[in-house]
Amino acid sequence: MLNYLLNLLKLVWAGPWSLFGLCIGLGTCVTGGKGQRVGNVVEFHGGLANWLLQLTPVDAIAITIGHVVLGRTEAALDISRDHERVHVRQYERWGMFFVPAYFLLSGYVWLQGKEAYRDNPFEVEAYAIDTPKHRG
């Protein structure tokens, strides 16, 4: 029972971002994309998600928004699943504060002369679990 309550609290804590992600996911489905649930995460690919990811400055193949992962393709979701699950857990820890903290840390590392994306501690944690087959 306690485990169930903790999981419910994690969903609620990350809920505002998850709702935003679900809205993008709905737009993805309306524009020809597809969605699926994998564990406690809803994944979408194609359509609007693919188009939005092409606009990212780091040429991302997937992005996490709460308990929602948007991918360019189904294969991109498969490749990035472990990495993106680290971000899901980060949303569960940080809740609504994750996105502001992410951008603040990106700015901080950039001001230190490092890469705003790759050297962001949230990304360092996520890339640390990647296996060689996931690395580009």
Supply the DSSP symbol for 5: H
Residues 17, 94 contacting (CB under 8 angstroms) = no
What does the longest C-alpha to C-alpha distance in the chain come to?
47
Flag whether pLDDT at 131 surpasses 80.
no
Write down the pLDDT at residue 136. Answer: 42
Q: Quick check: pTM over 0.85?
A: yes
Number of domains the chain is built from: 1
pLDDT of residue 17: 97
Domain that includes residue 66, residue range: 2-134
Taking the CA atoms of 83, 88, 92 and 95 in sequence, report the sign of the dihedral they define: positive
Q: Output phi, psi for 66, to 5 deg.
A: 70, -125
Question: How confident is the model over 59-117, as pLDDT tens digits?
Answer: 899 999 999 999 999 999 999 999 999 999 999 999 999 999 999 999 999 999 999 99
